[in-house]
Every structure is written in C-alpha cells, then in structure tokens.
Amino acid sequence: MVLVQMKTKIKEKEKAIALRRQGYSYSEILEEVKVAKSTIALWLHSVGLSKKQQRHLTEKKIASAKRGGLARHKQRLELVEEIYKKARSEIGAVSKRELWLMGVMLYWAEGSKEKDYRPGSGVQFSNSDPRMINFFLYWLRNIVNISKQDIYFDIFIHENSIDRVEMVRRYWMNMTGFGEQYFQHVYFKKGNPKTKRKNIGDGYFGVVKIRVKESSGLLRRIAGWVNGVVECL
C-alpha cells in the first residue's frame, strides 16, 4: 500500500514538473494534480522557465487580475443598483407640501441670500447638476407659481472651454426645456494653471445660475420659511 502511494506521488510530481515546463501556472497545475499548494511549491521551486514562458505567465496573471477586477466591478454595480432600487421604493408618493419644504431647504443650501449691504436682491440658484436645476425649476413654476417668462439663466464655464460655448448652451437648453432667449449670458472663469482640474472634457458643462426677475419679495419669503423650519427644531 505504501509502495503504491509512493508511485502515485512520483507520477504526480513528474506530471507537475512536466506541466510547469510547459509554462503552466501553479493554480493551473493544482487543477490537474490534486495535492496541497505547499507540495507543488516544494516540487517546482527549482524548475526554471524560459523567458517566453515567464512572459506568458505574466500576461496570464495580468489577464486574470483584469477579469477579477471586472467581476468585482460588476458585483459593485449590481450592489449599488440594488441599493438604489430599494432606496427609491422607500420614497413613495410626495405631497405638494413636502415638495415645497424640499425646495425651501434646497434654496437654503444652494441659493443666494440677501445681504445688508445689498438689499433688494432677488432669487438666484446655482448648480452644475441638471437634476437639481430641474427640481428647482419645477419648484419655482409649480410650487411657488413663478411664470416661465420671469426666469432666465447665466452660464459659468472655465475660459479653457470657450470653444464649447454653443455646445454648453444647447446642453442646458435641452436639460431645462428653455429656449435660447433664456440663455443670453455666458461668463468665463479664469483658471489657475497650477490647479489640476478634473471637471474638463466633453462631460463638462459648467454651472448654471437660475435668476428670477423682480423676486426680492420671494427671496424674503424663502428666508422666512427657513426661519420657520429652524424654529421647529
């Protein structure tokens, strides 16, 4: 019995060595030779590989790592999507009052405020996220009943995107559903050459500022609504 086991081990070792000399990796050999990884390492530590075989193994390791990375990336995306779906289902129906309060809090966070040195200023809301811009436009038009004709926009982009002005303008027109006459003002921000900016390229569309004509009264009402929320805490 012992002799049979010894012969089997010898055959396994010979097979492992032969596979290694053909350029197989340890993990591939372990699929063919069912022994412990430590045994394979002991058997093969002195088995050399040609440069071509070493290069081939390296390429396979890189390919395997890429496949593993893609698999993990896919798993992460699936997990994120599952979280998104569950979170969306938790919202349910939203009342008009809840939308009103959302808009008030959003403006408190992102909108301009009246200053003592600049009394009579109007409603101004800036952001680069088209979803947030559209939410605030909905809030203005459907919750506080601002006419479309009383709304206009400023676009702010970095000066190194000056050649993309019309593309950027069309982007915001498509995103908001407002025509060209509402996007008459484009302002260029000077860049710092020492700063490594990431918001560049075809996916960069600057920042949009929503302005409401003759809206100092609305601005003060929003400030009052904010104070009312704070006093409830």
Amino acid (one-letter) located at 183: F
- pLDDT by position in tens, the chain (length 233): 656 666 667 777 778 777 777 777 777 878 878 788 888 778 777 676 656 677 777 777 787 788 888 888 889 999 999 999 999 999 999 999 999 999 999 999 999 998 766 777 899 999 999 999 999 999 999 999 999 999 999 999 998 888 999 999 999 999 999 999 999 999 998 866 555 555 566 789 999 999 999 999 999 999 999 999 999 88
206: left (phi over 0), alpha (psi -120 to 50) or beta: left
In the structure encoding, which two tokens stand for residue 230, read together? 């704070």
Burial of 157 (0-12, 13-18, 19+ CB in 10 A): buried
* Distances from the Cα of 170 to the Cα of 156, 162, 179, angstroms: 14, 14, 9
Q: What is the pLDDT of residue 203?
A: 86
Alpha-carbon dihedral sign for residues 39, 43, 49, 53: negative
pTM for the full predicted model: 0.69
